[in-house]
Structure 1
Amino acid sequence: DRGRINAEQVLNAINPDDVHKPKSSLVSVENTANRGGGSIYQISDLQNIKQVCLNHNLKFHLDGARIWNALVARGEFPRDYGQIFDSISVCLSKGLGAPVGSVLLGSGPFIKQARRYRKVLGGGMRQAGYLAAAGIFSLENNLEKLITDHEHAHMIAEALIPKDFIGHILPVETNILIFEVTGRYQPRSFCDYLAQFQVRCLPISPTQVRMVTHLDVTREMVDRLCQIIHDM
């Protein structure tokens, strides 16, 4: 389901109590799902998976690199997710536009253990407060701007729909577009053509192209891209 799993699939994937098999201990989901075209989980589906985790003594982790996009698109709140997951990782540099940075969230004992593992593996930075300040700025100033990114993605999708060389377009829920290119263009030639106009996109399969809108993409740029697509 466009990168999303459900409680029944999790239940069926749990290994039996067998010495010949690894012991199932963790369920991890991604929200939004990258290769699903920025697809978003329903909170109720996550709650159902959580119940399976509780019943089978499994930890539940959220890869929330794009969680901000999900929150803005659905009008949800961070606490809605914090009540479900044992741990959450979030990214500050994708949609929010910080130069670098991710954050790991969890209980006090969990974070203490994570810091120990980081030290064991040689991790750690000095004077990281400068980077943290950029992350704080992005959280305080750029969340609402994600709405504009989503609007831009929809505008580009609308420009693509009428073209005879565009096949199936995955439903656009956030800032990611994944679509099929066929006929007189192939994914690589399509991307190469747009590169002439300083438009960067990525062929991700023999039939598909991926585009992502972000903080540095302006409405004027999107209007120009839509015109380029119209003229193709």
Structure 2
Amino acid sequence: MKVIKVKNYEEASQKAFEIFRDQVKEKPDSILGLATGSTPIRMYELLAEDHKVNGTSYKNVHTFNLDEYYGLAPTHPQSYYYFMTEHLFKFLDIDLNNVNVPKGNQDIQAECDRYNTMLAENQIDLQLLGIGSNGHIGFNEPGTPFDSVTHYIELDESTRKDNARLFFDGVLEDVPTHAVTMGIKNIMEAKRVVLIACGDNKATAIKGLVEDEPTTSLPASILSTHPDFTLIIDEGAASKLDK
């Protein structure tokens, strides 16, 4: 595990941006694993700015997103496909045929099978992650087996409350109760993994990830066993670390 400690969210976003920009420059046909939520927004802004100013091209890049809310069509303003389009894809020269986000409004088992097949055929070069306050990665909530692949999952109330506050104007009832998510095994099969964590509310989960043995009660803890894992944390997220 490589740990990069920075002062704040802006610096964390800059570090992550540099890693992803360099990956695309070094391998123009990279397969990138992408995340949603509040954490990667600034990194995506920096990627868009770099493309506009410096011309870094994404025309041969393929992407796979971690997850999607169950029941939302890709055109829904709270869907993760819509999120990715509004925050990143529309600012790049990426071929939208190369963009992959799980479909939350399809036959769920068929969609999980389809996504697993695609991931098996397209090893991710660089996977981006955030972390939930309860230690989830993707939508793999506490208790998810480490050998899980893409699956349908019920969201913890804590996750729904966090997402209500950030994206649903505080209305918990508007947050879907289930999602489709890459499994932990899918995530661990990426060649490289980068996780960004910022803020005091992530400190307990980060302490468990860095200092404790892997446990399914803290899904992100398995990342400490990945052969090429980079953790980017700000002062708030690092505030409970003893090591």
TM-score with structure 2 setting the length: 0.32
TM-score normalised by L of structure 1: 0.34
Asked which structure has the greater RCO (Cα within 8 Å, sep 6+), the reply is 2
